[in-house]
Copies of this chain bind each other. A is one copy, B any other.
Amino acid sequence: MSSINVLFLMLGAVMILAMHAGFAFLEAGSVSRKNQVNAFNKIIFDWSVTTVAYFIIGFPISYGIVLYTNNSLFTQQNGIELVRFFFLLGFAACIPAIISGGVVGRMKFFTQSLAAVFLGGVIYPLFESLVWGQNSFMGQKGSFFEKIFGAPFHDFAGSVVVHSLGGWIALAAIIILGPRKGRFGGRFNTRPSNIPFLTLGSWILIVGWFGFNVMSAQNVNAISGLVVLNSLMAMVGGTMSGLIFSKNDVGFTHNGALAGLIAICAGSDVVHPFAALFIGAIAGLIFIIFFELETKWKIDDVLGVWPLHGINGTWGGIAAGIFGRKALGGVYDLSFMSQLTGSLLALVYAFAAGFVLYKVIDAVAGIRISEQEELVGTDLTFHRIDANPEQTL
């Protein structure tokens, strides 16, 4: 059985690894052509940096297990702890990948990678430990939250722990960084460079998401068909509302699917499939409304990662508290107050930690590129090449 669990977690881990190609294409397709190459190198390098940071510091913080000094873990139960690390790393690595889509076009390459060290090594694991890890504060049976609210804070697959954390840290980074030169006022081309790449990224994320959600059971015996179906339903709800409320816009449609999936992570093992459809539909609408408010509020969040991951992550955490009760067709009763408090706590923690982190890095090393570099684009600035080099030579 341990061998099948290794297979189970490994499939989930690989599906989440694949999602990072999705992040890269979603970003490359959504940004200006002069920032495409940068998207690709950022995503794969920040994944790599996060792997090392989470392996050495983060995973031990969250779960109290040090893999590299205990060789017996390499073979115990087919080495399952090693695969569990890989699976959970995939979640940690979403944090810089989410932020990447918000800060694109004016952030320095290596200071963003430096941020990834602290995000994957400390900031994310600290919160993770409270919900899923060794610290019995919020998510565990017998936790402080359970004692106060009657039920622990429930986040099955990371609406709050992963997505809202990433999205709200991104908001802090975006505010500190400031908007791209000329973004608000004057002529500025905000249109995506490549719709097929955008949709490819979205599809890769959608498909990989089933590894993200389903394998969060972490044990094949705990696999839940309800999680599978609810993930599908929320994706469908987000797609439909994204398309309908945007009057058939391709970006809102394909991001709507993601919005639905983000919002369902928390309660996917609890709510009724029709509730999942509704949660997803609201998420698709939330994304449209706040993406447009961001422009009004002059928040230059290029891919809309704050509404997509931040607000919808928070919505997912709270929605699990609304629909995750037997009276509304769910399979057991969550606590609304526990969900609300936990979701708000995550939001405050993420924004504050992100604010401090990016402020410090800015003071120490500078986070913003020069106006001239911004104009030329991050591709030529950092990588001395654009997306179609043969043609542009």
Using CB atoms and an 8 Å cutoff, list the residues of chain A in contact with chain B.
Answer: 3-4, 6-8, 10-11, 13-14, 17-18, 20-21, 24-25, 28, 32-33, 36-37, 40-41, 44-45, 47-49, 51-52, 55, 67-68, 71, 74-75, 78-83, 85-86, 89, 109, 189, 191-197, 199-200, 203-204, 206-207, 210, 214, 220-229, 232-233, 235-236, 239-240, 243, 248-250, 253-254, 257, 272-274, 277, 329, 331, 382-391, 393
Contact = CB atoms under 8 A, between A and B. Distances in A.
A272 B72 CA distance: 11
A250 B383 contact: yes
23 contacts: A3-B223, A7-B220, A10-B214, A18-B203, A21-B199, A21-B203, A40-B195, A48-B239, A51-B233, A51-B236, A71-B272, A74-B272, A78-B223, A86-B232, A191-B385, A191-B389, A192-B390, A193-B391, A194-B390, A196-B387, A200-B200, A248-B382, A250-B385
A226 B74 CA distance: 6
A18 to B, nearest CB: 5
A257 B44 contact: yes
A207 B18 contact: yes
Contacts of A390: 32-33, 189, 191-194
Q: How many copies does the complex hold?
A: 3
Contacts of A207: 14, 17-18, 21
A223 B44 contact: no
B193 A229 contact: no
A364 to B, nearest CB: 20
Contacts of A222: 3
A249 B51 contact: no
Contacts of A225: 6, 10, 74, 78-83
A232 to B, nearest CB: 6
Contacts of A272: 68, 71, 74
Nearest to A270: B74
A226 B40 contact: no
Contacts of A7: 8, 220, 223
Contacts of A37: 195, 250
Ordered nearest first, which 4 A-B pairs have the shortest CB separation? A79-B225, A21-B203, A82-B225, A191-B389
Contacts of A274: 68
A45 B253 contact: yes
Given A13-B228, A74-B331, A220-B4, A236 B36 contact: no
A80 B249 CA distance: 35
A82 to B, nearest CB: 4
Given A10-B223, A195-B385, 13 more contacts: A36-B196, A41-B250, A44-B199, A44-B253, A45-B243, A47-B239, A68-B274, A78-B223, A78-B224, A82-B225, A189-B390, A191-B389, A248-B383
A326 to B, nearest CB: 9
Nearest to A388: B194
A368 B176 CA distance: 51
A316 to B, nearest CB: 19
B389 A195 contact: yes
A225 B225 CA distance: 26
Nearest to A51: B236
Given A10-B210, A10-B214, A229 B86 contact: yes
B6 A4 contact: no
Contacts of A89: 232
